[in-house]
Amino acid sequence: MSNLKRKFLPSLVATAVATGLVAGMTMTQAAEWTPPALAPLDTIKMPIPLDNKFTEAKVALGKLLFFDPRLGGDASVSCSSCHDPEQGWAWAEDFSRGYPGTTHWRNSQSIINSQYMDRQFWAGAAASGERQAPAAAKGGVAGNGENDIMEARLALIPEYVKQFNDVFGDEWPLIDNAWKAIAAYERTLVQTETPLDSYLKGDKSALSEEQVRGKAVYEGKGGCIQCHYGPLATGQEYLNVGVPPAKRWEEDGLAQITFRFEHYAKGQTEEGYRKAKSDWGLYYRTKNKWDKGKFRVPSLRYSKYTAPYMHNGSFFTLEEVVDFYNAGGKDEEGRTTPFTENMDKRIKPLGLSDDEKSDLVAFLEAFSGEEMITEKPRLPEYAPLFTKAELEEVKK
Amino acid sequence: MRKKGVIRRSHLLASLAIAVSCAITGMASADAPGLLPALKINKEKAELGKRLFFDKRLSGDAAISCATCHDPEKGYSTDKALSPGYPGNGHFRNSQGLINAAHKKTWLHDGRLGTNLNDVTREMLTEDYIMNMDMRIMQERVKQDPKYVEMFKAAGYGEPSNGSVRKAIPEYLKTLTSKGSAFDTGKMSDSAKAGQKVFNDKGCSSCHSGSMFSDGKAHNTGVPENFDVFLDPMNHQAFLAFTMFQGIPNFMNLKRDPGAAVQWKKADVSNYGTFMTPSLRELAQTAPYMHNGMIATLEEVVDFYNVGGGADSHKDAAMKPLNMKDQEKKDLVAFLQALSGDKLTGPEHVWKEAYPTEYPVIADWANQKN
């Protein structure tokens, strides 16, 4: 609940709460809080960082770079490898595919609408798209690239040298500007036209009767709106909703390797490294035990194309997701989070009928418009920096 | 730049160590060549190192092993002028043969590592243009293979760790010591014996001294640049990444290999183009020659020195035309060949067993300690 307050109470009140002056008032405020209604996405503006102004040329460069595998370790993996436009700008398996020789340990999230979010990654590890891109391109089980070789590659691609100069004024392409261009491109990957947006703007024919009934479940008995609210259909809170550990860790040696690596790399304690059997989520950032198993509530927009679902891709269909919540945060075998003490109190059995469940699933599909596909750009080629004659002229 | 999970050492320390070791080698350089000293080898550790050396899972994308660039059939080097490097890039130097690497005091053509083979192993594993391995992932891969778990235990290392990988591989490298050369067995031909006299009389031995036939110092002999380093963007990107990381000034415009200048950057760049004197042992297995593979055969190497080396205004003063007669050159080549021994390609040096194609799953994972 503290996350809720921090985000939605007027800042003066939030300050008062934080300093503990009016503790009594807090309870009243929290009890009276109602989630903001779903709203069209074009009611909010895409945030643009002051230090990464938006230009057409930057977006064009960012698109090339997004698809260019030379921004990775062995030049075989680009952003688009794990965020494939054909797979919802994500990866259609439980875990993201990962760098060759590895697998990732979390589900790949869609790029569509991602840049509206306050932070990036499932546990919010990156503060912006500009920070997310290098973390992915350099992560050992993602891009496994290093700054210097990636920067060297860019310098040997004349088209990039020209564009980085035009866009950023770089004499030679600077790798940090590659991340800026990619983030700028990602800010163009938004979907504001969906049946839901049309409906909310007054076109009552945009939703079927079934979907209208589903909306009522969403906002009522299902309680989905409590976390999936507002224009983005998420309040971006970090919550433990009871998602069970991925079964793949029990069945796949490669996944077991990455599991241990992640705990090693994220600064786990020795004891934590030995004992962990699930993704501890927000804990890696805060090291608070009450944050174990918490992940950022994802947007439901574009989710029609981004199966499987949850931070570890545990559920392959929206029906399974609805069943999971209907059971009070348990999968069909009754598995749940190992950190039940951290589970959000609002997660409880919902008692939805089969009709209510199918209405709800139908409504969830209204969060997605047409599938967004883009043509892969033709990538510029390497060229030697010097001619043979220039090399022969060198006086030693 | 290096991958994560490694201990960084300051360049100052490394340079200091190089300076010290050069001084030691320098004092010993007057030594006549002889047999290499026997090294004490821990069998279990070396056996583990052998399996690691040939295991592709020790590179970032699991596509190459140490042996990809250090092929036993080629004296633990390659027969290409330039080393292949990591997939996605090329390389800018010749892969050095590893036979007798454990007998050196400084390593790599530019001598930038002068501590121990543990550091050399780390550098090769973690450099982005070489094996690009995040050693934290390497450690977890190794732990996933029951055969390794068993071998690390047998070697006395306990649980597999990236630290003991870097101990085991150097232990294995100790087993790669010259064996059976005519020089060591005292079975040199008359021509080779005559060649040894040429070798000493013509001054080869002033740099190629001691039992390793190397003074362990850097010299400029004027070896021409290998233009493929710069004309092939795959190689050039590795060169750029390297010079960028080494802090070489003006690296984007650099059209020559700075060589051992990475150890001590002189403002007037007068030490650019110096390279560590290589050992002459096992030459017959490791063609082509020089730091950039620019010379294909031993005959051509001898011709190169016979004309006083290549063109460079900072060429070592000792480099002068040698005026060797044809017979002297032939004898010299015969001597150089007599410094090469057996191929080390048998199962005692090469891991011949197959590696698992998949990582076995740890059973009952949920109830096991990681």
Q: Are A139 and A103 in contact, with CB atoms under 8 Å apart?
A: no
Neighbours of A350 (CB within 10 A): 18
User: What percentage of chain B has pLDDT greater than the value 90?
Assistant: 89
The mean pLDDT value for B81-91 works out to 97
**B60, B244, B311 member nearest A73 (Cβ):** B60
A297 closest CA partner among A332, A321, A277 = A321
**B240, B314, B362 member nearest A256 (Cβ):** B362
- Confidence category of residue B6, pLDDT binned at 50, 70, 90: low
Q: What angle do CA A5, A6, A7 make, to 5 degrees?
A: 90
Q: Give the pLDDT score at A31.
A: 62
Which residues face B295 on adjacent strands? B289
Tell me the mean pLDDT per 10 residues along chain A, length 396: 40 40 46 90 96 97 98 97 98 97 98 98 96 97 97 98 98 98 98 98 98 98 97 98 97 98 94 96 96 98 98 97 98 97 97 98 98 96 98 93
Map out the domains of chain A as residue ranges. 1-33, 56-186
Q: Is the peptide bond before A35 cis (omega within 30 degrees of 0)?
A: no
Q: Give the pLDDT score at B31.
A: 63
The mean pLDDT value for B267-277 works out to 95
* CA gap A323, A319 in Å, rounded: 6
The mean pLDDT value for B254-279 works out to 95
Determine, for residues B233 and A144 on separate chains, whether the beta-carbon distance falls below 8 Å: no
pTM of the model: 0.91
**B1, B230, B314 member nearest A148 (Cβ):** B1
Which positions in chain B touch A262 (Cβ < 8 Å)? Answer: none
Please write the tens of the pLDDT for every residue from B144-155.
Answer: 999 999 999 999
* Token couple for B65: 């092993």
Neighbours of B240 (CB within 10 A): 28
- Helices assigned H by DSSP within A139-252: 147-155, 158-168, 175-186, 195-200, 209-219, 248-251
Q: Are A74 and B88 in contact, with CB atoms under 8 Å apart?
A: yes
Determine, for residues A74 and B61 on separate chains, whether the beta-carbon distance falls below 8 Å: yes
Determine, for residues A263 and B312 on separate chains, whether the beta-carbon distance falls below 8 Å: no
B216 interfaces chain A, CB cutoff of 8 Å: no
Determine, for residues A75 and B369 on separate chains, whether the beta-carbon distance falls below 8 Å: no
Determine, for residues A144 and B132 on separate chains, whether the beta-carbon distance falls below 8 Å: yes
**B143, B245, B359 member nearest A254 (Cβ):** B359
B146 interfaces chain A, CB cutoff of 8 Å: no
Whether the predicted pLDDT of B5 surpasses 80: no
* Token couple for B7: 């201990």
B87 interfaces chain A, CB cutoff of 8 Å: yes
Q: What angle do CA B359, B365, B368 make, to 5 degrees?
A: 120
Which positions in chain A touch B362 (Cβ < 8 Å)? Answer: 253, 256
Whether the predicted pLDDT of B233 surpasses 70: yes
Which residues face B2 on adjacent strands? B127
Whether the predicted pLDDT of B204 surpasses 50: yes
Tell me if the domain spanning B11-179 has CATH number 1.10.760.10: yes
- Identify the closest residue of chain A to B272 by CA–CA distance: A396
The mean pLDDT value for B293-308 works out to 98
Q: Give the pLDDT score at B32.
A: 76
- Residue A310, by phi and psi: left (phi above 0), alpha (psi -120 to 50) or beta? left
Q: Are A179 and A133 in contact, with CB atoms under 8 Å apart?
A: yes
* CA gap B151, B173 in Å, rounded: 17
Q: Give the pLDDT score at B33.
A: 85
Q: Are A77 and A140 in contact, with CB atoms under 8 Å apart?
A: no
Map out the domains of chain B as residue ranges. 11-179
Neighbours of A286 (CB within 10 A): 14
Neighbours of B32 (CB within 10 A): 9
Q: Give the pLDDT score at B1.
A: 60
- Confidence category of residue B166, pLDDT binned at 50, 70, 90: very high
The mean pLDDT value for B269-276 works out to 96
The mean pLDDT value for B84-104 works out to 97
**B140, B238, B359 member nearest A264 (Cβ):** B140
* CA gap A22, A314 in Å, rounded: 42
Q: Is the peptide bond before A10 cis (omega within 30 degrees of 0)?
A: no
Place of tokens 């241990």: A260
Provide the 8-state DSSP code for B326. Answer: H
Determine, for residues B369 and A263 on separate chains, whether the beta-carbon distance falls below 8 Å: no
Determine, for residues A394 and B222 on separate chains, whether the beta-carbon distance falls below 8 Å: no
The ipTM is 0.90
Superfamily of domain A56-186: Cytochrome c-like domain (1.10.760.10)
Q: Are B112 and B262 in contact, with CB atoms under 8 Å apart?
A: yes
Provide the 8-state DSSP code for B9. Answer: -
